[in-house]
Amino acid sequence: MALARPLAGIVPPLLTPLLDRDTLDAAGLERLVEHVLGGGASGLFLLGTTGEGPSLSHRLRRELVSRACAQVDGRASVLVGVTDTAFVETVDLARHAARAGADALVIAPPYYMPQGQPELREYLGHLLSELPLPLFLYNMPPLTKVPFELETVRWALDQDGVSGLKDSSGDMAFFSRIVALARGRPDWPVLMGPEELLGPSVLAGGHGGVPGGANLFPRLYVALHRAARDGDLERTRDLQERVSRVGERLYGFGRHPSATIKGIKCAAACLGLASDFMAEPFHRFRETERHQVEAALEELGPIVEV
């Protein structure tokens, strides 16, 4: 089982627009999908961290997957995050995603009970035998506590059904080692999570990225990917600095780790893309931060033009 078409470039981790704790903002979702596809995104990653996946009811997760797949309608790859602490729930959502027409699944290690790497491999083995679609590994140790270590990635490269990896560890040395392992496997994309490392990762041989900011400014991230892929060092540095500037201006309001998601969701609302309602345990920005986001967007205007 492999990806039906190769995946490279920018795959935004799609925000989940909400009207209420358990109500999708369907119109916002539609606008957002068109916005990122229009900006050149190669795929969408639903129900990731930026998409508040683990905070949503299982019912809403399924609704989101159905709607997004229907709208994309084959114009780009749709990856669906199915990470859950309960194996049974993961498999249920995976089957729903297959029926809805998704292209691939994404799984981070179950994030409550810490597993040793052999336990994690056994877990993946059980999972692969139940999954109806190709699987991306999602390395996110700051949130899952457990990483996919090098030995496990090496094992996964030989498993039928594993089709690539998204690395959000922020560890560029680890990423480079994975890229070296996957050399000669164009069917096995290695994608960078943190957008401050998008340029360096593609220069090092990575296939693309999953940058949260691409919900807002997809053209900028697509341009950065292309410059680095084509070896245009000067343009890569320039665009990477602009991408990093987006992060410095937008992801630092509020004192908590939630600042990044809140900043992106608030900015999406300011740009008229979608509602900024957030599922618990978070709450959208109040007035003060919203005004700061508006000011930041104004300042970023010329910077994000490409």
Q: Which two tokens stand for residue 100?
A: 């809805």
Residue for token pair 């320039």: 238
User: With contact defined as beta carbons under 8 Å apart, do 245 and 219 qualify?
Assistant: no
Residue 117's contacts (CB-CB under 8 Å, 6 or more residues apart) are 149, 151, 152
Residue range at the interface with a second copy (CB under 8 A); choices 64-72, 83-91, 98-106, 288-296: 83-91
Q: Hey, which residues between 225 and 244 contact a second copy (CB under 8 A)? A: 231, 233, 237, 240-241, 244
- Of the listed pieces 34-42, 70-78, 202-210, 212-220, which binds a second copy according to CB under 8 A? 202-210
Give residues 88-117 in contact with a second copy (rule: CB under 8 A).
Answer: 88-89, 109-116
Residue 281, preceding peptide bond in cis (omega within 30° of 0)? yes
x-or-dash string of contact with a second copy, 116-145, rule CB under 8 A: x-xxx-xx--xx---------------xxx
Minimum CB distance to a second copy, residue 92 (Å): 8
Tokens of 294: 């508006």
The residue (of 101 and 170) whose beta carbon lies closer to a second copy is 170
Q: Which of 197, 222, 266, 297 binds a second copy (CB under 8 A)?
A: 197
200 binds a second copy (CB under 8 A): yes
For residues 146 to 185, the per-residue mask of contacts with a second copy, x marking binding by CB under 8 A and - elsewhere, is: ------------------------xxxx--xx--x-----
Query: Which of 5, 87, 294, 305: binder of a second copy (CB under 8 A)?
Result: 87
- Cα separation, 292 vs 284, whole angstroms: 13
Give the sign of the dihedral formed by CA 262, CA 213, CA 253, CA 139: positive
Identify residues 239-298 at the interface with a second copy (CB under 8 A): 240-241, 244, 254-258, 261, 279-283
* Cβ proximity of 55 and 61 under 8 Å: no
- Identify each DSSP E strand in the chain by its residue range: 9-10, 18-20, 23-24, 43-46, 77-81, 104-107, 135-139, 162-167, 190-192, 208-209
Angle at 199 between CA 196 and CA 203, to 5 degrees: 145
* Residues at the site binding a second copy, with contacts judged by CB under 8 A: 21-22, 49, 52, 54-60, 85-89, 109-116, 118-120, 122-123, 126-127, 143-145, 170-173, 176-177, 180, 194, 196-197, 199-200, 203-205, 231, 233, 237, 240-241, 244, 254-258, 261, 279-283
